[in-house]
């Protein structure tokens, strides 16, 4: 197991005040370990609920195995926890379902998200999975900004979107792969049409 010693925050033991802050240990699916402050974890509704339910003491955190986050790799989790540490203590926005709010991307977030599209995709997925509302907001805003001034064809290239025709073809292929009988029925139907019949009835 590779341990990333305090990749998110540098823990200086001498500088820790008398009342010790709790730092939880998390492990990514590629066995990278991270120490994250209790306050930073509050940015993630999922992790916050998880640690609350576990009820770990400071000793538990050190003695028990790191909490495994099996769906997220170390590279992505590092970005997630860097973001959480930077924004710890900030209010979590509440979506009231009205017209979408204007989202400004702070400088720190912009630098953090200066990454390739593949990693950005993973970051958004992680923010959604861990329910980190503001990280999801800014990362989605970054993706939304990519659409500016683009034609539909350019958007398909940027977002790797299939056209309706490609989508339909993929669905048909998937259906046929799942149900060979469906293909046989379709071929039988086509044959009957060629022979002059309109339907099975």
Residues that bind other proteins in the complex, under the rule CB under 8 A:
98-100, 103, 121, 124-125, 128, 136-137, 140-141, 143-144, 147-152, 154-156, 159, 161-164, 167
> Nearer to other proteins by C-beta: 98 or 198?
98
> Nearer to other proteins by C-beta: 61 or 130?
130
SS3 92: coil
Nearest to 130 by CA among 10, 59, 5, 34: 34
DSSP string, 25-67: EEE-TT-EEEEEEHHHHTT-HHHHHHHHHHT--HHHHHHSPPE
Nearest to 9 by CA among 76, 67, 87: 87
Give the shortest CB-135-to-other proteins separation in angstroms.
Answer: 12
Pairing between β-strand 23-27 and β-strand 32-37 as defined by DSSP bridges: antiparallel
Give the shortest CB-130-to-other proteins separation in angstroms.
Answer: 13
> Nearer to other proteins by C-beta: 30 or 104?
104
Give the shortest CB-72-to-other proteins separation in angstroms.
Answer: 15
> Nearer to other proteins by C-beta: 78 or 141?
141
């Amino acid at each position: 197991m590779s341990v990333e010693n305090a990749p998110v925050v540098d823990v200086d033991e001498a500088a820790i005040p008398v009342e010790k802050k709790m730092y939880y240990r998390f492990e990514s699916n590629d066995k990278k370990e991270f120490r994250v402050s209790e306050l930073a974890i509050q940015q993630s509704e999922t992790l916050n609920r998880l640690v609350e339910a576990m009820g770990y003491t400071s000793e538990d955190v050190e003695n028990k195995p790191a909490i495994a986050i099996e769906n997220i790799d170390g590279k992505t989790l590092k970005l997630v926890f860097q973001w959480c540490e930077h924004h710890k203590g900030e209010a979590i926005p509440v979506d009231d379902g009205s017209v979408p709010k204007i989202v400004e991307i702070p400088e720190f977030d912009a630098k953090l998200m200066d990454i390739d599209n593949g990693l950005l995709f993973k970051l958004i997925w992680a923010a959604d999975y861990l329910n980190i509302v503001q990280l999801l907001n800014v990362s989605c805003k970054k993706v939304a900004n990519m659409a500016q001034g683009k034609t539909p064809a350019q958007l398909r290239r940027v977002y790797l979107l299939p056209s309706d025709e490609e989508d339909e073809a993929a669905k048909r292929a998937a259906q046929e792969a799942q149900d060979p009988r469906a293909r046989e029925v379709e071929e039988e139907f086509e044959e009957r049409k060629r022979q002059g019949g309109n339907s099975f009835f």
